Amino acid sequence: MLGEEMNSFIKVWLAVFTSLCYCHAMGKMVPKGPKRLIFLLPIVCLFLYLPLNLYSPHLGGLTAFFIAWLGNFKLLLFAFDKGPLNTRISLPLFMALACLPIKIQQDPIKENPSSKSQGKSKEGTVNYVIKGLLLAIILWSYNFIEYIHPNIIKLLYALHIYFFLEIFLAIGAAMVRSFYGVELEPQFNEPFLSASLQDFWGKRWNLMVASIMRPTVYEPTLRFSSAVIGRKWAPVPSVLSTFVVSGVMHELVFYYLRRVSPTGEVSWFFIFHGICLTLEIGLKKALSGKCRLPWIVTGPLTVGFVLGTGVWLFIPQFTRSKLDVRAFEEYAEIGALLKSSCEKVLNHIFYHL
């Protein structure tokens, strides 16, 4: 099973890399605008189709997120010469930026870079080691899952998703950084320290998604809304439309994972957060900073609200179609494969001693 999935995974990503070579070459020959968009649309459709060839919760889910959502949105921006992609960068870097959730840092710190980068690197390493240990503890706790309350299990799943995503994306970013020598923006910024929903969604959680949704959904809607209802209230439909699109794209990713019709709960999770964020922004403007609560109050409320609504609407999508069971089966297969490989290596060493 795992071997067949890996073969499909390799074929899918060979198709992705070949398609991106075409996009890079085509971008040099076709001017930006509707004409370039027409040439890119077949690739957009292909990127929507490719994840259907994968069934692994990990390989399929990440591939769908990388190419069907972020990759396609980047290509749509590239059609009009916007976003992170352009033909001035090398083909390998173009491919990395297109199919991975990374973004080159535009204004890296220049003053005394060696000492600051070393300190930041050490701090980041310790941070990821701690999160890796916490993820290992969560995985170990699943051995006693029959003794754990269902709501606690959902909370563990939420933490599992966060730690897995942050560690996996950090490893990918580190590889790209070492290969291309570019400084990349972080994907997460300690979301558990968020002081508000605006802080959580805009500055701390999955920043690559925020940076792509802003030029593709928020800003066009803001310009249109400003012309229709005025600049003062234009952010309201802009924020709501961004969260609606995010909900739809999450539903699409879950469809790739589950192969069943969406229930709409994931969309409602994001719509609900969009409404709450809009109310929060309006309340902040009304108060004009006159009544600012300390983080010790707003922080736990924000994180508790995100986790609570996530356990209510988001996490059940993993358990309802037994995605969690499939993920555990993958962990077991990988563990057995690693154990078998280690035994072969040890037997080979002892045989030659």
Mean pLDDT for the chain overall: 87
Band of residue 1 on the pLDDT scale cut at 50, 70, 90: low
Same domain for 233 and 259, yes or no, is yes
pLDDT value of residue 114:
43
Q: Do 149 and 228 have their domain in common?
A: yes
Helices (H) and strands (E) in the chain, counts: 15, 0
Q: What's the angle, vertex CA 182, arms to CA 176 and CA 186, rounded to 5?
A: 70
Looking at the structure, do residues 136 and 201 belong to the same domain, yes or no?
yes
Q: For residue 193, what pLDDT is reported? A: 93
DSSP 84-123: S--TTS-HHHHHHHHHSS--B-SS---SSHHHHHHHHHHH
Confidence class for position 71, pLDDT limits 50, 70, 90: very high
CA distance linking residue 106 with residue 330, whole number of Å: 38
- Both 60 and 190 in one domain: the answer is no
Q: Is 223 helix (H, G, I), strand (E, B) or coil?
A: helix
Task: Give dist(CA 235, CA 243) in Å, integer.
Answer: 12
The gap from C-alpha 331 to its chain's centroid, in whole angstroms, comes to 21
User: Is it the case that residue 199 has pLDDT exceeding 90?
Assistant: yes
Q: 77 with 163, same domain? A: no
> What pLDDT digit, counting tens, does each position of 90-114 carry?
999 999 999 988 888 765 544 444 4
Are 79 and 126 members of one domain? no
Q: Other C-beta atoms within 10 Å of 269: how many?
A: 22
Reduce the DSSP state of residue 230 to 3 states and report it.
Answer: coil
Identify whether 55 is part of a domain: yes
Question: Using 50, 70 and 90 to split pLDDT, how confident is the model at 204?
Answer: very high
Residues 6+ apart with CB under 8 A from 48: 68, 72
Give the pLDDT confidence score for residue 117 in this predicted structure.
45
Residue 353 lies in a domain: no
Note whether 237 and 287 are same-domain residues. Answer: yes
3-state secondary structure 152-185: HHHHHHHHHHHHHHHHHHHHHHHHHHHHHCCCEC
Distance between CA atoms of 46 and 49, rounded to whole angstroms?
5
Q: Lowest mean pLDDT of 136-145, 175-184, 251-260, name the range.
A: 175-184
Give the model's pLDDT for residue 123.
59
What confidence tier does 353 reach under pLDDT thresholds 50, 70, 90?
Answer: low
Could you tell me if residue 184 is inside a domain? yes
Domain end call among 102, 130, 146: 102
Rg of the chain, C-alpha, whole Å: 22
- Residue 262 has phi, psi (to 5 degrees) of -65, 150
Q: What pLDDT, on a 0 to 100 scale, did the predictor assign at position 348?
A: 67
Q: Are 11 and 50 in contact (CB under 8 A)?
A: no
Kindly indicate the confidence band of residue 335, based on its pLDDT and cuts at 50, 70 and 90.
confident
More confident residue, 325 or 137: 137
Q: What per-residue confidence (pLDDT) applies to 116?
A: 45
List phi, psi (to 5°) of 184: -110, 150
Least confident among 238-242, 327-331, 347-351: 347-351
Same domain, 159 and 266: yes
Considering the domain architecture, whether residues 158 and 78 belong to the same structural domain is answered as: no
| Window from 28-42, 87-101, 176-190 with minimum mean pLDDT | 176-190
Task: Tell me: pLDDT of 120 over 60.
Answer: no
Q: 222 near 235, Cβ under 8 Å?
A: yes
Q: How far apart are the C-alpha atoms of 39 and 36, rounded to whole Å? A: 5
Question: Is residue 96 in a domain?
Answer: yes
- The pLDDT of residue 40 is 97
> Mean pLDDT throughout 2-9?
86
Answer yes or no: do 238 and 274 share one domain.
yes
Residues 6+ apart with CB under 8 A from 246: 209, 213, 270
CA–CA–CA angle 122, 96, 323 (5° rounding): 80
The SS3 of residue 41 is helix
Q: How many domains does the chain have?
A: 2
Q: What's the rounded Cα separation, in Å, for the pair 277 and 207?
A: 17
Tell whether the model's pLDDT for residue 256 goes beyond 50: yes
* pLDDT, average across residues 249-272: 90
Helix (H) or strand (E) holding 251: helix 235-258
Which residues constitute the domain of residue 183?
Answer: 120-331
- Are 92 and 147 within one domain? no
Which range of 244-253, 262-271, 279-288 scores highest in mean pLDDT? It is 244-253
Percent of the chain with pLDDT strictly greater than 70: 92
Q: Return the number of other C-beta atoms located less than 10 Å from residue 46's C-beta.
A: 16
Together in a domain, 280 and 247? yes
Domain finish residue from 102, 130, 153: 102
Residue 248 domain-assigned?
A: yes
- Model confidence, pTM: 0.86
Cβ atoms of 225 and 237 within 8 Å: the answer is: yes
pLDDT for residue 115: 39
Q: What is the pLDDT of residues 267-276, one digit of tens each?
A: 999 999 999 9
Distance CA 218, CA 195 (A): 22
Find all residues with CB under 8 Å of 101, minimum gap 6, and list them: 65, 66, 70, 169, 172, 187, 206, 208, 209
Q: Is residue 180 part of a domain?
A: yes
